[in-house]
Each structure stands twice: as C-alpha cells, then as structure tokens.
Amino acid sequence: MSRYRRETVRTNNLDVYKDILEKRGVKRIKQYKTKVLKQFDKNQIAFYTHSWSIGDLYTKLANQYYGDPQYWYIIARFNNKPTEAHLSFGDIVYIPADLSIALQVVV
C-alpha cells in the first residue's frame, strides 16, 4: 500500500513552470501537497541520549532502542537532523523513550 494514499493531490499548471512543462510535453502535472510536520516538544517526551560515534546510523539506533530499524525517521525527526550527514562525531542524539507517543506526534 502506498504511503501517499491519504495525501492531498494538487494539479500544477502554473505559468512559472510553463517552459518546463512544454519541454516534458505536458500541460500540467500532479503533485502531492507538502505536508506540514508536527514538532516534538522535548519537555513533554522522555528520551534517551546517545553520543554520535563512528559507525552509528539511525537504523542501528532504531533497532537498538525500538527493536526495529524502520523507525529510524523518528530519531531523525526528534533531532531535526534528516540524515546522518547532518550529525558530527560527539553530537548528542536524543531518542524518544516511548515509541508509541513519538508515532502519535509524527502521524
């Protein structure tokens, strides 16, 4: 099942994109509306701390703390660091202690 199944679809035929659309041979394109993400309030969610070190990955941390690497994005969002490239060695990474609460904020 697509992760976009509940997202709003918009048609884009703005004049600003006229040249691009013509090059593609189309009059309009469909796009998903940009989702506004909820922010975590670190004062209301218990979390663990982890010092970022060599070999760390969000997937490894998610597997270690949640038992499932698919929840890597929770850790990334909680820290406002979308990829591992946004972290430096020694940075403190905050990991929500309760996955079910973190999932409610993200959805």
User: Which domains does the chain possess?
Assistant: 1-35 (no CATH), 47-106 (3.10.350)
Give the pLDDT confidence of 44-94 residue by residue, as tens digits: 889 999 999 999 999 999 999 999 999 999 999 999 999 999 999 999 999
30's tokens: 């469909």
CB 71 within 8 A of CB 62: yes
Say what the pLDDT of residue 33 is.
Answer: 76
Does this model's pTM top 0.85? My answer is no
Question: How many Å apart are CA 84 and CA 27, to the nearest integer?
Answer: 39
Please determine, for residue 1, whether its predicted confidence score (pLDDT) is greater than 60. Answer: no
Which residue reads 């918009």 in tokens? 10
* Phi/psi of residue 9, nearest 5 degrees: -105, 135
Among 12, 1, 90, residue whose Cα is nearest residue 52: 90
Please determine, for residue 98, whether its predicted confidence score (pLDDT) is greater than 90. Answer: yes
Question: How many Å apart are CA 97 and CA 73, to the nearest integer?
Answer: 14
Average pLDDT over all residues of the chain:
88
